[in-house]
Amino acid sequence: MLVLNPVSGNGSHAERVRKSADDAGFTVLETQASGEGVEFGRLAAAAGADLVAAAGGDGTVNEVLRGLDAADALDDVTFGVVPAGTGNNFAGNVGIEGIDHAFDVLAEGERRRIDVATADGERFLNSCIAGLTAEASASASPELKARLGVLAYVLNGLRAVTEFEGLPLAVEASCPGTEKTWTGDAVMVLVGNARRFPARGRSQANCEDGLLELTIVERSPPTNLLQEAAIHRLFGEETEHVTNLFASELRVDVRRDDPVGFSFDGETGTHGSLTMETGERTVELAVGETYEPTPE
């Protein structure tokens, strides 16, 4: 079964995906509204589908995965992704290069068991972010995203960065046998399951190791240099203001009264504190040829 979001990205993929899915023998469930991917994931599992694909962006992939999880079917199905969103970051991280390639991979690509992350009980596959980039992605309108693609996030990021006050946080990252803590004002908190946040190069993380990769970008005075510095860090060299940690369990406490907006695979929610963990090799996924089980 294939769950199709017909309006993700710029919406131009729908006809092509319907046709390829039909040719490949998939039953297609088309979402009519936000959130319906969860229900369709659950339905596909209940119907006994052994291969379930999500066609859309990272948000659609996340919804279908949550539906499979709600049906307690993560052990029983092979999951697949057909990139048809704006960023398609998760699909890229698992070696899926486009719509036609995705159908080849669904038919005969390698299957790997990958980690699934949980944040306060909700599943995510790719990343959880808070701070500047989360605010930027939440405030990028669908129209702007459709017109400019990923550039929309960057433009919004530039606009927001000068006004951003930082997030006062206490972070505890634990792996079996070790625990590290970080406290301070963060510009960004980037947690990757399948995604890594490098200054340059490939963004795939190791998603079979049972670990989350945490990147914290610290807010550094003076404020009037913040814009230049944050952009530099996002897209350029890493500096001493960037902390990288691995964790099998992660707790983020917000040290202010207002909760903070977090984005899970691109879908937002607000939290005053958040506990995250990974389930090692929780779901079988059809991956492309360039997927690296242990990326450098």
Ligand X SMILES: Nc1ncnc2c1ncn2[C@@H]1O[C@H](COP(=O)(O)OP(=O)(O)OP(=O)(O)O)[C@@H](O)[C@H]1O
Query: In terms of C-beta density within 10 A (0-12 exposed, 13-18 middle, 19 or more buried), how is residue 182 classed?
Result: middle
Closer residue to ligand X, CB minimum distance, 31 or 193:
31
State the DSSP H helix or E strand holding residue 229, giving kind and residue range, or none if neither. Answer: helix 226-235
| β-strands 267-271, 260-264 pairing | antiparallel
How far is the C-alpha of 224 from the C-alpha of 83, rounded, in Å?
39
What is the x/- site pattern for ligand X, positions 82-111, by CB under 6 A? ---xxxx-----------------------
Give me the residues paired with residue 124 across strands: 117
Sign of CA dihedral 62, 63, 64, 66: positive
State the DSSP H helix or E strand holding residue 113, giving kind and residue range, or none if neither. Answer: strand 110-119
Closer residue to ligand X, CB minimum distance, 134 or 229:
134
Closer residue to ligand X, CB minimum distance, 141 or 162:
141
Closer residue to ligand X, CB minimum distance, 88 or 215:
88
- Which residue's beta carbon is nearest to the bound ligand X? 57
| Smallest separation (angstroms) from ligand X to the CB of 269 | 12
The reply on whether position 5 binds ligand X by CB under 6 A is: yes
Q: C-alpha angle with apex 289: 284 to 294, nearest 5 degrees? A: 70
Binding segment toward ligand X, per CB under 6 A, in 29-37, 123-131, 218-226, 231-239: 29-37
Identified binder of ligand X from the candidate list 3, 9, 105, 218, rule CB under 6 A? 9
Closer residue to ligand X, CB minimum distance, 93 or 278:
93
Looking at this protein, which amino acid is placed at residue 233? R
What is the x/- site pattern for ligand X, positions 168-187, by CB under 6 A? --------------------
The reply on whether position 80 binds ligand X by CB under 6 A is: no
How far is the C-alpha of 135 from the C-alpha of 173, rounded, in Å?
23
The reply on whether position 12 binds ligand X by CB under 6 A is: no
The reply on whether position 39 binds ligand X by CB under 6 A is: no
How far is the C-alpha of 152 from the C-alpha of 75, rounded, in Å?
37
The reply on whether position 31 binds ligand X by CB under 6 A is: yes
What is the x/- site pattern for ligand X, positions 50-69, by CB under 6 A? ------xxxxx--x------
- Count residues binding ligand X (CB under 6 A): 24
Write out the two tokens for 38: 């969860």
Other C-beta atoms closer than 10 Å to the C-beta of 58 total 31
Closer residue to ligand X, CB minimum distance, 109 or 266:
266
| Smallest separation (angstroms) from ligand X to the CB of 85 | 3
The answer to whether 17 and 102 have CB atoms below 8 angstroms apart is: no
Footprint of ligand X on 237-276 (CB under 6 A): 266-267
Closer residue to ligand X, CB minimum distance, 202 or 256:
202
Please give the DSSP secondary-structure letter assigned to residue 94.
Answer: T
**What is the Rg, in whole angstroms, of the alpha carbon atoms belonging to the chain?**
19
- List residues near ligand X by CB under 6 A: 5-9, 31-37, 56-60, 63, 85-88, 266-267
